[in-house]
Amino acid sequence: MQLKISNAPCSWGVETPDAINNPDWKTVLDECQAAGYKGIELESVGFFPEDLNTLKDALNERDLTLTAGVVFRPFHDPKQWDTVLDGAHRTFSSLKAQGAKQAVLIDSIAEERALTAGRPDEARRLDAFDWKNMMERVETIAKIGTQEYGLNVALHGHAAGFIEYKDEIERVLEDIDESILSLCIDTGHCLYAGFDPIQFYQTHKNRTTYFHFKDIDPQVQKVVTKNRINFYEAITQGLFCNLGKGICDFQKLFEEMKKLDFQGWSTIEQECDSRSKSTLIDASYNHNYLKGLLEKM
């Protein structure tokens, strides 16, 4: 196994590229480098400069590699198709320009599902008609990424979107051919959705090409689930804790990844409050924690 670990802007509280509380993009790159990483995700396009040379020079100055990018758009909403298409082309163009190979598709947060995130028995599911149409949009973007830009495109289940729970993710994998859509497993979002990411990896090992690493504080999860706290607020309350401090068994996960000789980048995504003052401390801790596990192996 040759696992290379990067970080992502959401570990600095960046959920959308233009949020008022976002840190400066150069601060994110500086702290990512200072914490010991050699790679960083583009994440949602628009936070980092889209000018090829500006971003390339900034990455080179810090000895950082752009590892992947996320199309975090409302695939569930037919009225926002232009937004999805715009985000996809801009993301894929930036990745190709920087030599990155991995793209990730996420159905972004819907207000309705944010109210039932982490509670599969309460969440409304899309009916057959709306699901079919959403699959057509996902398939179209996956084809654009693979066929027009030469990228590996992976599906990512995400809390508060309409592709969150195990059955929904597996339904997508059944509906869309693996030649154009692989799987990105997010350990934290799996756990929040009520299923084990390690077992999920064992089931879908041949289709899994990428990981997002995050952990969940069980006490916070218990409180936000019991009190039906909105997903946005759950993040600010510390739902996603430092790696190894929560319920995800990263050692066991790495053992499974080693058995299957996993190769390439995966990324820490510790979604947090953008007003956090401990981003460098947390990024350093998480880097050292995973590095320690890998060295023991």
CA separation for the pair 72, 89 (Å, rounded) = 12
Length reported for the chain: 297
Task: Encode pLDDT of 254-275 as tens digits.
Answer: 999 999 999 999 999 999 988 8
Q: Taking Cα atoms as reference points, which of 212, 231, 210, 208 lies closest to residue 220?
A: 231
Flag whether the pTM goes above 0.75: yes
238: left (phi over 0), alpha (psi -120 to 50) or beta: left
The model's pLDDT over 100-139, given as tens digits with 9 standing for 90+, comes to: 999 999 999 999 999 999 999 999 999 999 999 999 999 9
* DSSP for residue 148: I
Please state the φ and ψ torsions of residue 42, each to the nearest 5 degrees: -70, -35
Name the CATH superfamily for 2-296: Divalent-metal-dependent TIM barrel enzymes (3.20.20.150)
Instruction: Determine which of 83-87, 91-95, 226-230, 244-248 has the lowest per-residue pLDDT on average.
Output: 226-230
Q: What is the pLDDT of residue 232?
A: 87
User: pLDDT tens across 87-104, in order?
Assistant: 999 999 999 999 999 999
Quickly list H helices, the chain: 25-34, 52-61, 81-98, 111-114, 128-143, 166-175, 187-192, 197-203, 218-226, 231-236, 250-259, 279-296
For 273, half-sphere exposure in the C-beta direction (CA atoms, 13 angstrom radius) is 10
Quote the pLDDT of residue 44: 82
Beta-bridge partners for 7: 40, 268
